[in-house]
Structure 1
Amino acid sequence: MGINFRRGVFLLQIDKILERAVAGERLGLEDGLALFESDQIEKIGAAANQVMLKKHPEPITTFVIGRNINYSNICDTYCRFCAFYRPPGSAEGYVLPDEVIFQKIQETVDVGGTEILMQGGTNPNLKIDYYVNLLRGIKQRFPQITMHSLSTAEVEKIAEVSNLSVEEVLIQLKEAGLDSLPGAGGEILDDRTRRKISRLKGSWKDWINTQKTAHRVGLPGTATMVIGFGELMEERVLSLMRIREAQDETNGFKAFITWTFQPDNTNMKAVNNTPEEYLKTLAISRLMLDNIDNFQSSWVTMGPEIGKISLSYGANDFGSTMMEENVVSAAKCAHKVNTNLILQYIREAGKIPAQRNTKYEILRVFKEGEMAEVDFVMQN
């Protein structure tokens, strides 16, 4: 009787939290913890879907045609969860020639792509001149392409090896052609877990401060959270609240993305990185992050089927077509689809697919049965 009573009280508490969130009330730390402790995943998802529909009442799910270009795999941060990097001096390390990068961008433009997610490691041999010259070369050849590229860790490494401030680096990168700063490196914004998974990576304050600096110099971006490292639920909630606080200050985050840690070929084991935990985390994130409009589905790590379900758990965007992806692929978890399959998956979820740009402006709405004129087979 006592256990059932306590469960009934807890369920009533969850109902009240969800009612407040749907009504537009901001949730706090205790609210977030209660939601993560709850097993009412479908109920939480339904509330997140209601909040999403208030921001996006049209039955449209967006996606962007883009390509990941991993310009280098040399990295001196040595994250335990990364299967992609090679240490400086490794025979397997590389820096792509500029002409190879230009060719990859040309292939993206040829299929109607608008976004390049260019990322590598924290390469101590590449200073600001390398990035400035590369970005200028890209923009001279492809002025229409959006460079949603690099990461806070890469920016901080460039500043370190170039003897510049983070702000000076971001200003130079923006002037050379950088358009937007992705949320890579966010993982968990709490230093206990960050020290455990990546001892040499910056603190959560470093990530937040670099993002806020980017926003202030005119570079919008995205925020991210990776779960499954064995982090505390409190650390997840604090991560969300720290992102929310930064967004209150700068309004620079265009979207939020969460996904699960993929342990294959890494030095770590995953903890509770199930599809159910992903969907619950996505939904709670939508409820907590009341000042971010767009939430991406993480079909690359979770697979297209979970991607479809996520569109009823708070996500309004299917992310990128990901013409090329090597970091996640190195952990053997990249799910590969092409543009027309994305259209199919979005329709199967009961939504209308629409191509967007990096600013989340809709470029084209696909009518029923309409397919992409130019398609591609994703490659590595």
Structure 2
Amino acid sequence: MGWNAARKSELTDKIASGERLSRQDGEDLYECDDLAWLGAQAHGVRTQKNGDVVYFNVNRHLNLTNVCRASCAYCSFERKPGAKDAYTMRVEEAVELALAMRDDGLTELHIVNGLHPTLPWKYYPRVLRELKAVLPDVALKAFTATEVHYFEEISGLSASEVLDELIDAGLESLTGGGAEIFDWEVRKQVVDHNTHWEDWSRIHRLAHQKGLKTPATMLYGHIEEPRHRVDHVLRLRELQDETGGFQVFIPLRFHNDNNRLSHLKMAAPADVLKTFAVSRLMLDNFPHVKVFWVMHGLSTSQLALNYGADDMDGSVVEYKITHDADNFGTPDKLTRDNLLDLIRDAGFQPKERNTRYEIVREYEGPVSLADRRAEPQAVWA
């Protein structure tokens, strides 16, 4: 069924009643060009779940190596062995860098890497163990399902055994990466490794069974179509029905610098907002939707908070995976105060969280509109 006024009325009623949306509903929502209506629907659901709160955390990203045996079409981060800007940290280097990142209120280290062709499996749990020893109060959110699948291969262990050893070394959560787009016709054109939906879902299912809560991502705005995005979130919704282990969904905007898809235009802000809104409406069993400001820009990220997102991620400092693809202009770092200003300026109350979404600190909400207009507001790029 196509898009028309009757369809809009039907979907408005369905969303208001809390009825679960179908695949066709999701595809029809992507056809809707009434962004104000779409945002209102998503914002209503977001407000029911999380009120007028926007969560953030104080985190740092640590990428142990950019050497990777894969050559994914969308990736600007990977380097081949011997490339002049290829690097691999010794364990001691990783610990030294992590200690240098420690500052006021740091609660999370986010660790993802290339699929290094020669590093031994034992390197990875050793890194976690050494990091946990020096930063005992910092949660280690590490490794994509793609990396865990690769660890199975190089270790000879099952994913269950790999996860047990990583958890014993201090792992608190997997990252949500490696998902990209699950549909095989799209995936086989952009992904150059053998971790597909079957293994990605198997590994997150195992992590959930072991008590880990994990995020899930979707890389959008490249060669996929809206129907592939709908298929992607429906697979996640079904897995969440089964395990209840996903905390947050994170749409990631494809960046087109320094990769084999550089000829493509990046998703326009209207498409970004539509993707957040439809994702929030379809994923009725996900507690949170995060806008990762590094990939979306600050102004669009603020707008996304009115299109279903309730989390702005963290202070980050440096995110090489995007900034290696970057003429986009996002800063390397936002401080806690920067994030508080952004969230309040968008009209929400900031709450600082940890990896488990436990509240670390609550802050005052936005000042009144009259007070905001009394002095010039910062303009965010």
TM-score, normalised to structure 2's length?
Answer: 0.91
Q: Given the alignment, which residue of 26, 29, 41 partners 2:23? A: 29
Q: Does 1:64 align with 2:61?
A: no
Alignment equivalent of 1:120, drawn from 93, 105, 113:
113
The reply to whether residue 53 of structure 1 matches residue 50 of structure 2 is: no
What are the residue-to-residue correspondences of 1:306-317 with 2, within 5 Å? 306-317=300-311
Q: Distance in 2 between matches of 1:15 and 1:272?
A: 32
1:346-372 deviation digits (Å, cap 9, x = unpaired): 0101111121101111110123699xx
The one of 322, 326, 330 equivalent to 1:335 is 330
What is residue 88 of structure 1 aligned with on the other side? 81
Matched letter for residue 30 of structure 1: Q
Conserved in 2, the CA contact under 8 Å of 1:118 and 1:149? Answer: yes
Higher mean alpha-carbon deviation, 256-265 vs 87-96, is at 87-96
Deviation at 1:271, TM superposition (A): 5.0
Deviation at 1:272, TM superposition (A): 6.0
Query: What does the per-residue CA deviation read over 1:109-154, in whole Å, with 9 as the maximum and x for residues that have no partner?
Result: 3221100101111112223211111111111111111011111111
Q: Which residue of 1 aligns with 2:356?
A: 359
Alignment correspondent of 1:377: none
Which residue number corresponds to residue 16 of structure 1? 10
Match of 2:227 among 234, 243, 250: 234
Measured in 1, the distance between the counterparts of 2:300 and 2:135 equals 35
- CA drift of 1:249 comes to 0.8
Equivalent of 1:161, from 151, 154, 164? 154
Q: Deviations over 1:180-233 (max 9, x none)?
A: 011111111111111001133422222111111111122221011111122122
Cα distance in 2 for partners of 1:18, 1:109 equals: 47
- State the partner residue of 1:140: 133
1:277 partner letter: D
Q: What residue is the counterpart of 1:375 in the other structure? A: none
The one-letter code sitting in structure 2 at the alignment partner of 1:348 is D
1:345 corresponds in structure 2 to: 342
Rounded to whole Å, the distance in 2 between the matches of 1:19 and 1:175 is: 48
State the 1:288 CA deviation. 0.3
Letter of the 1:342 counterpart:
L
Q: 1:326 aligns with which of 320, 323, 331?
A: 320
Unaligned runs of 5+ in 2: 368-381
Please name the residue that 1:38 is paired with. 32
Distance in 1 between residues matched to 2:204 and 2:366, nearest whole Å: 40
The normalised TM-score by structure 1 is: 0.91
Structure 2 partner of 1:218: 211
**Cα pair 1:259 1:278 within 8 Å, conserved:** no
Distance 1:315 1:129, change over 3 A: same
Give, in whole Å, the separation in 2 of the partners of 1:11 and 1:306.
Answer: 28
Is the Cα contact below 8 Å between 1:123 and 1:157 reproduced in 2? no
Q: Which residue of 2 aligns with 1:104?
A: 97
Q: Which amino acid aligns with 1:274?
A: A
**Counterpart contact for 2:289–2:309, Cα < 8 Å:** yes
* 2:179–2:219 Cα contact (<8 Å) kept: yes
**Partners in 2 of 1:369 and 1:17 — Cα distance?**
32
Q: Distance in 1 between matches of 2:329 and 2:355?
A: 22
**How many Å separate the matches in 1 of 2:308 and 2:141?**
23
| Contact 2:95 2:131 (C-alpha < 8 Å) held by counterparts | yes
Kept after mapping to 2: 8 A contact 1:256/1:296? yes
Q: Counterparts of 1:132 and 1:304 in 2: how far apart (Å)?
A: 35
Partners of 2:19 and 2:112 in 1: CA distance: 37
| 8 Å contact kept, 1:126–1:158 | no
**Which residue number corresponds to residue 188 of structure 1?**
181
- Verify the 8 A CA contact 2:348 2:366 in the aligned structure 1: no
CA contact (8 A) 1:71 1:96 kept: yes
Q: CA deviation at 1:105?
A: 2.4
The percent identity for this pair of structures is: 34
- For structure 1, list consecutive stretches of 5 or more residues without a partner in the other structure: 1-5, 371-380
Residue 205 in 1 paired to residue 202 in 2? no
Cα distance, 1:99 vs. partner?
2.9
Deviation (angstroms), 1:34: 0.4
Take 1:185 and 1:162, find their aligned partners in 2: how far apart are those partners? 20
What amino acid maps onto 1:167 in structure 2? S
The one-letter amino acid of 1:364's match is: R
Q: 2:172 maps to what in 1? A: 179
> What is the CA–CA distance in structure 1 between the aligned matches of 2:366 and 2:48, rounded to whole Å?
27
